[in-house]
Amino acid sequence: MLINELAKRAGVSVHTIRFYERYGLVRGHRDPTITSNNHLHYDEESVDRLELILDAKSAGFTLQEISEIIDAWYKDTYTKREKRQILERKLQALDDKIKELRQMKKIIKDCLEEI
């Protein structure tokens, strides 16, 4: 499929796909049988990768962390244990952030009570 169809299927813009390509998260391939244009073609894995990227972003992962996740899942360079460690580190970071936000919320409530 071409980039426009990929964008529609994944629910993102072409610009977003190009950004992820520059970051190495998604890759298009040239069709060697077509010599009349320079268009990149994408497969179902590209759709899956974009869905993974969007899910990971909504869970608070950074692009660097997403890159690590994609390497772990698609290149199969990580063991199951290492994959678990990646996810457990993110869970701990989210727990820390929640604790920090609760503390900030308490400070703001205390300030409101003083006014």
Residues 83 and 51 in one domain: no
Residues 53 and 84 in one domain: no
Number of domains in the chain: 2
Largest Cα separation within the chain, whole Å, is: 73
Range of the domain at 9: 1-61
Contact 3/14 with Cβ under 8 angstroms?
Answer: yes
Predicted confidence at residue 71, as pLDDT, reads 83
- Say which CATH number the domain at 40 has: 1.10.1660.10
Residues 6 and 52 in one domain: yes
Residues 6 and 39 in one domain: yes
Q: Does 26 fall in a domain?
A: yes
pTM of the model: 0.72
Q: Look at residue 11 and give its three-state secondary structure.
A: coil
Residues 57 and 90 in one domain: no
Per-residue model confidence as pLDDT tens for the chain (115 residues): 999 999 999 999 999 999 999 999 999 888 777 777 778 999 999 999 999 999 999 988 899 989 988 888 887 778 889 888 888 988 998 899 999 999 999 999 999 999 8
H/E segment holding residue 41: strand 40-41
Predicted confidence at residue 104, as pLDDT, reads 97
Cα gap 64→61, rounded to integer Å: 8
Predicted confidence at residue 16, as pLDDT, reads 95
